[in-house]
Structure 1
Amino acid sequence: MHFDREAMGPNVSLICKDESCTVYQVNEDSGEGVMTAYDVFPGVYLLYNDFHMEKCFSEFKPDVDLFCIDHCREGRIEWEIVKNKFIYLEAGDLQMNNRKHHVCDFSFPLKHYHGITVGFYMEKAMKVLPHVLEGVPVDLAKIREKFCGDEHPFVMRAGEGVEHIFSELYTVPEHLRMSYFKIKVFELLLFLDALEVAQKSAERPYFYKTQVEKVKAIVRLLTDNLERHYTLKELSERFEFPLTSMKLCFKGVYGTSIYAYMKEYRMNAAALMLQKTNENVVSIANRVGYENPSKFAAAFQSVMGMCPAEYRKSVVRMDQYWQERSRQEAQ
Structure 2
Amino acid sequence: MANVANTASSLDLLRCFEDGAVGGCGVDVRQSGGRCVVRMAGDAGEGVMRFFEVLPGVRLSFNDFHMEECESGFAVSDEVLCVDYCFEGRMEQLLSDGTCSYVAAGDLKVDDRTRHVGRFVMPLAHYHGITVSFEVKRAQRSIERALGGFPVDLRALRRRFCASGDPAIMRGVPGAERIFSDLCAAPSEVRAACFKLKVLELLLLLETTDASPALNERRPYFHRSQVEKVKAARDSMVADLSAGFSARETAERVGLPLTAFKACFKGVYGMPPFAYLRARRMERAAQLLRDTGLRVADIGLMVGYDSPSKFTAAFKDVIGQTPTAYRRQGRFS
TM-score using structure 1 length: 0.90
Residues 33, 254 of structure 1: CA spacing in aligned structure 2 closer, same or farther, 3 A cutoff?
same
For 1:73-122, what per-residue CA distance to the aligned partner results, in whole angstroms no more than 9, with x for missing partners? 11111112226321111111011111122221111111111111000112
Cα distance in 1 between the residues matched to 2:47 and 2:99: 25
Q: CA deviation at 1:14?
A: 5.0
Which runs of no fewer than 5 residues in structure 1 stay unpaired?
Answer: 319-331
Aligned pairs for 1:214-233 within 5 A = 214-233=229-248
Partner of 1:47: 61
Residues 9, 50 of structure 1: CA spacing in aligned structure 2 closer, same or farther, 3 A cutoff?
farther
Q: CA deviation at 1:218?
A: 1.1
The amino acid that maps onto 1:254 is: Y
The amino acid that maps onto 1:54 is: E
For 1:285-328, what per-residue CA distance to the aligned partner results, in whole angstroms no more than 9, with x for missing partners? 1111111110100111111221111122222223xxxxxxxxxx
Instruction: Confirm or deny: 8 A CA contact 2:46 2:66 kept in the other structure.
Output: yes
Flag the structure with higher helix content: 1
Residues 15, 6 of structure 1: CA spacing in aligned structure 2 closer, same or farther, 3 A cutoff?
closer
Partner of 2:301: 286
Q: Which moved more, 1:121-130 or 1:38-47?
A: 121-130
Aligned to 1:160, the other structure's residue is in SS state coil
Aligned pairs for 1:20-99 within 5 A = 20-82=34-96, 84-99=98-113
Residues 28, 87 of structure 1: CA spacing in aligned structure 2 closer, same or farther, 3 A cutoff?
farther
Aligned pairs for 1:262-273 within 5 A = 262-273=277-288
Instruction: Confirm or deny: 8 A CA contact 1:65 1:123 kept in the other structure.
Output: yes
Q: 2:12 aligns with which of 3, 26, 35?
A: 3
Instruction: Confirm or deny: 8 A CA contact 2:14 2:29 kept in the other structure.
Output: no
Q: How many pairs are equivalent?
A: 318
The amino acid that maps onto 1:71 is: Y
Cα distance in 1 between the residues matched to 2:212 and 2:71: 34
Instruction: Confirm or deny: 8 A CA contact 2:40 2:48 kept in the other structure.
Output: yes
Q: CA deviation at 1:206?
A: 2.0
Partner of 2:130: 116
Q: Which moved more, 1:151-160 or 1:258-267?
A: 151-160
Instruction: Confirm or deny: 8 A CA contact 1:156 1:202 kept in the other structure.
Output: no
Q: 2:200 aligns with which of 186, 206, 216?
A: 186
Cα distance in 2 between the residues matched to 1:261 and 1:286: 18
Structure 2 residue 283 is matched with structure 1 residue 274: no
Bigger Rg over Cα: 1
Partner of 1:150: 164
Instruction: Confirm or deny: 8 A CA contact 2:108 2:173 kept in the other structure.
Output: no
Cα distance in 2 between the residues matched to 1:68 and 1:238: 40
Q: CA deviation at 1:4?
A: 4.7
Cα distance in 2 between the residues matched to 1:304 and 1:4: 40
The amino acid that maps onto 2:174 is: E
Cα distance in 1 between the residues matched to 2:36 and 2:305: 49
Cα distance in 2 between the residues matched to 1:240 and 1:222: 15
RMSD: 1.8
Instruction: Confirm or deny: 8 A CA contact 1:72 1:114 kept in the other structure.
Output: yes
Instruction: Confirm or deny: 8 A CA contact 1:8 1:61 kept in the other structure.
Output: no
The amino acid that maps onto 1:156 is: M
